[in-house]
Each structure stands twice: as C-alpha cells, then as structure tokens.
Amino acid sequence: MPYFPKIDGLRSLAIIMVIIHHAASIFSKYVDLGYAGVDLFFVISGFLITTILLKSKEGFSKSYKIFFARRSLRIFPLYYFSLLILLLLGHPIVVQEIGYLLTYTYNYRYPFVRDANPIGHFWTLGVEEQYYLFWPFLVLGLKRKLPLLMLVTFLMIIFAYLQIYFHLIPSISVYNYTGLPTRMGSLGLGSLGAMFYSDSGVFLKKLLHEKSIEVIMVFLWFYALIFTEPLLLGFGSLFMVLKAAENSFNFKLFHSFLEDKRMLFLGRISYGLYVYHVIVIFYGTKYLFDPVWKSIDWQSFGRLSILQFHSWIIKLPLYSSITIILSVLSFKYIEQPISKLKDIYFKN
C-alpha cells in the first residue's frame, strides 16, 4: 500500500475534532467538529482505498480477496474485541442492538436509538465496512475504463449531495446522516480524488502547489466548518488530502502540525482512538466523573464555582489521556500482531 505520511497527520486532526466534539460538547453550539472530523475520515478512506485498488496488479477475483482479507485483519479484531467488552459490561442497548453491530448495519439503526449509550459512534464503521464490500467491485471492474469509473463516481457524489440538501427520496431522508448512499458524497470525493491523482499530469500538481488556491480552499473549509456545509466540507477535506499526498502545504504551521511525530503517531493509532473514546467517555462519566463532580460543594469555591458548568476542562484531557493509553496498548498487543498476518498471507 502506498504510504503518505502527512495523511496520518490528517487522521490525527480528524480524531482530535471528533474527541473534542464528544468530550467537550459545549463547542457544538458553535461548530460541529464531529461532522467535520468524520467527513475528513471518509474522504481519507475513499482516497486510500481507491488508490490501493487502482494499483492492484492481480486479476479481479484475487485482487478482491486480497483487499477484503487485508481490510478484515485491520478492522475486525479491534471492533469485535470492543463489542465483546461491551457485552460483558452488559449495557442494555448494546445487548439489544447486537445483531446490527455484529453485521455492521448499525448505521441504519442509529437514527432510532434515543438513549445515551457507548456505541453511538459505531455507525460510521458500518458505513465504511459497506463501502469496503461494494466499492472494490466497481473499481476493479472498471479501472481499465477510468473515464467511465470517474463518471459513475461523479454521479454517485451528485446523488449523495442532492439527497442531503433536497431530500430527493423522502423515505430515506432519515438516513441522510448515517446511510452509505449519502455518505458516498465524501467517500466518493476521496475516491474521485484518487482517480485524478493517480492519472494526473502537471496541471493538477501545479494547482496543488498554488498558494492562492490553498488560501481560498482554507477559507472555504473554515466557512463550511462554522456553518456545517456538507459539500464545501467534502471539497475542503479532499483538497487537504490531495495536498497531504503531494506534500505541498504552503502554511508552515499546518505543515509542521502534520509532520509532527506525535501527530503522526496519533494518526497511526486513530482507529483505536475512535473505537475507544466514546466508551471511555460514557463509562468514565457515569461511574467515575459524575459521582465525584456532583459531590463537590461548589459554593465554597466562590468565583471559581462557575467551573461546575465547565466540566469539559477536566473531561477533555482526562478522557483523551485514558483513550490514548488504551489505544497504544491495543495497537501494540492486538492490532500490530494481527496486522503482520496481512503481509504473510495476503501480500498485495
């Protein structure tokens, strides 16, 4: 698989936004970091998966088997391990929804689950797994006819965003946030970006190095972030992914952020961070944080009593630290050992 180091940096940006959204929900009043973070993850997935498939040199059947086996060894162990732990903890919603969770279809159940639970974020994993199942058929079947593949992908993107904005099919509008057909907007943008990048000439690379284009796209991405504009967020995320692949960021601060060793490491363990963070927040708040926080006599703190309404100041660093520790252990003792099997049995 081709490796783009700065895309790991983008993964760290995405997971930071998602964790802030869940651990410091006060910011949700001003900006939907959760939506932006997940959207960036989807664009990254679309770009990387399509790049892998386009570079595959085996026949259709063997390429698909190798791809899906490698994805399964990467995704399944940690996911099903977390489900096992949640089942042992016995949360009623986890037990009730286990069929959807086991089959990666929770994204079509999530809109109807109202009570707080530790699995709300798992809907995104369902979207990605469904994408991993069907997308290789399309790419491997049409990669020798790249213009046709681009057209089909473009039409999927158009439908996705028209459905999001205008509810073309009202009966599926309830799934606009969590369904694969609509989330193919950002997944498709990443996929289409991979097609253009793999087949690109001087023109695209010149655009990616143009500072004025970068300034415009950064402005549009921040505008989309503040006002939660899905289409602009998607294009902004795609632009960042292409810039990361090309290693052509002009803003030194952002460039330094993406190549910082700590950010690169967070990007490498971002899957574990994503899986564990809501579980940590849910159980940490219920059994550890709230009992202590609510027992404090805030009136005795005088002016500092306002802190009782800003628990996120403690929650964010506390839960982030616990999640990082769990993710590092998981990466070392679960993900890495199993991941080695990919190159032993299913070499690209």
For the beta carbon of residue 93, count every other beta carbon within 10 angstroms.
17
pLDDT at 190: 98
Task: From first to last of the 348 residues of the chain, give the pLDDT tens digit.
Answer: 668 889 999 999 999 999 999 999 999 889 999 999 999 999 999 999 999 999 998 889 999 999 999 999 999 999 999 999 999 999 999 999 999 999 999 999 999 998 999 999 999 999 999 999 999 999 999 999 999 999 999 999 999 999 999 999 999 999 999 999 999 999 999 999 999 998 766 667 778 888 888 899 989 999 999 999 999 999 999 999 999 999 888 888 888 999 999 999 999 999 999 999 999 999 999 999 999 999 999 999 998 899 999 999 999 999 999 999 999 999 999 999 999 998 887 887
Give pTM, 2 decimals.
0.96
By the 8 A CB rule, do 12 and 207 touch?
no
SS3 210: coil
pLDDT at 204: 77
Cα separation, 103 vs 80, in Å, equals: 11
Show the domain range for 250.
5-345
Burial class for 239, CB neighbours closer than 10 Å (0-12, 13-18, 19+): buried
Cα separation, 109 vs 99, in Å, equals: 10
Cα separation, 237 vs 216, in Å, equals: 13
Q: Helical H runs in 56-179?
A: 60-89, 92-96, 98-102, 123-142, 146-166
Cα separation, 88 vs 66, in Å, equals: 33
Domain count, the chain: 1
Cα separation, 335 vs 22, in Å, equals: 24
